Amino acid sequence: MRTTFTPFTQEMVPEAGKLLAKRHHRNRQTYPILPERFKTSQVAERAIEALWKKKFKNGYAAFRNGIMTAYLLGEYTVQPWGRCGYVYLPGYALADGENVSMLQDLYALLGDDWVQNGVFSHGLYVSAADTYVIEALFDIGFGKERVDALLDLRSLDFPKQEKPEGITVRRAGKGDNAYLGGISNVISNALANAPYWHPTVPEDWDELREGWSELADDEEWVIWMALENDDLLGVVGFRTQEESDTDLLANPHSLYMSIAATKPQARGRGISTYLTWHGLEQAHRDGYEICYTNWISPNLLASRHWPRYGFVEVSYRLSKRVDPMITWTRNVAKL
């Protein structure tokens, strides 16, 4: 019997949860560092339920003989660079033995909904274990944009580090607002360079600086600073990674390495390396077991730096840009 495709509904949540639990179980066979809880159908079902509660969601499912064989759930949001559609990590699954072309067909339906709503930036988060899904999405025009990675601190051999000459290292705290605000543009400037060319619009600069400045007063953050003659040259910042219904990467006792920046004139001195190992080792002493981080793969500095610490790539955001001209050329072609 042939496969049928239908819009996703609330009634499909439990069946989708079962598919997700089986997918996560398969993913953990490749990456045991992934959290165990999502291989339970009830937990996976809560992830689907949370996705389906989002305001601007859409989705489709594939059925054969009345049994769900695949699903794809997404949402669209407005970002400074445009209207964006995302399928988050719990937002897809394919039953054992089914052809991956089903997910291509489901994306064609979901993506067309996005395009008709003026959403031309599409991003799908996919487990790195699902290589066949990645290849199928590459075949329809997607490319790798972001890497999510995990590091097991329990088995890590922390190297002995020599502090860079002339550098003072200390934890950021109250009164360090100007320091952190002053380094807030380093990452956005790096992302603006070739070969990524990602814009940060001027209207966001003040908000970005303010956000970084406020981290000095936030006790949930542990930020290590490297200073030379009262000049902040680099930072690495961590916070606890909280478990949630939809975070398929969050383990118990995990932390998130969320910010890391070194001023261009200070690179090559080992500052980032020292700060990172210092921060990871201290986190391990504090009882953390897993460190999560992510980076933009076209940011060549980041994509060549972070794997050196032993981070395991466990998922990717695959992205695609649709030419907005399709909104009128497709209609013209029908005349």
Provide the token pair at 152.
């097991």
Cis peptide before 195 (omega within 30 of 0): yes
Mapped onto helix, strand or coil, the DSSP state of residue 47 is helix
Q: How far is CA 308 from CA 114, 193, 225, 292, 313, in A?
A: 38, 23, 21, 14, 12
**d(C-alpha 108, C-alpha 295), whole Å:** 28
Q: What digits encode the pLDDT tens for the residues 173-218?
A: 999 999 999 999 999 999 999 999 998 888 889 999 999 999 999 9
Q: What digits encode the pLDDT tens for the residues 74-128?
A: 999 988 788 999 999 999 999 999 999 999 999 999 999 999 999 999 999 999 9
Backbone angles phi, psi at 107, to 5 degrees: -65, -35
What CATH class is the domain 4-146+319-333?
alpha beta
Per the CB < 8 A criterion, the answer to whether 153 and 114 are in contact is: no
For the CA atoms of 255, 279, 211, 205, the dihedral, rounded to the nearest 10 degrees, stands at: -120
**d(C-alpha 163, C-alpha 51), whole Å:** 45
Mean pLDDT, all residues of the chain: 96
82 residue type, one letter: G
pLDDT for 331 beyond 80 = no
Multiple choice CATH, 157-309, 3.40.50.300, 3.10.180.10, 3.30.70.640, 3.40.630.30? 3.40.630.30
pLDDT for 303 beyond 70 = yes
- Burial class of 10 by CB neighbour count within 10 A (0 to 12, 13 to 18, 19+): exposed
pLDDT at 79: 86
Let me know if the fold of 4-146+319-333 is the same as that of 157-309: yes
Residue 264 exposure: Cα atoms within 13 Å on the Cβ side: 7
Average pLDDT value for residue range 127-138:
98
Q: How many CB atoms lie within 10 A of CB 219?
A: 8
pLDDT at 334: 61
pLDDT at 82: 84
**d(C-alpha 67, C-alpha 64), whole Å:** 5
pLDDT at 335: 55
Q: How many CB atoms lie within 10 A of CB 139?
A: 11
- Residue boundaries of the structural domains of the chain: 4-146+319-333, 157-309
pLDDT at 315: 98
**d(C-alpha 155, C-alpha 280), whole Å:** 12
Q: How far is CA 222 from CA 126, 143, 159, 255, 276, in A?
A: 30, 34, 21, 10, 12
Q: What digits encode the pLDDT tens for the residues 220-235?
A: 999 999 999 999 999 9
Strand pairing category for 290-296 and 254-262: parallel
Kindly provide the b/e burial profile for residues 184-215, where b requires at least 16 CB atoms within 10 angstroms of the residue's own CB: bbbbeebbeeeeeeeebeeeeeeeebeebbeb
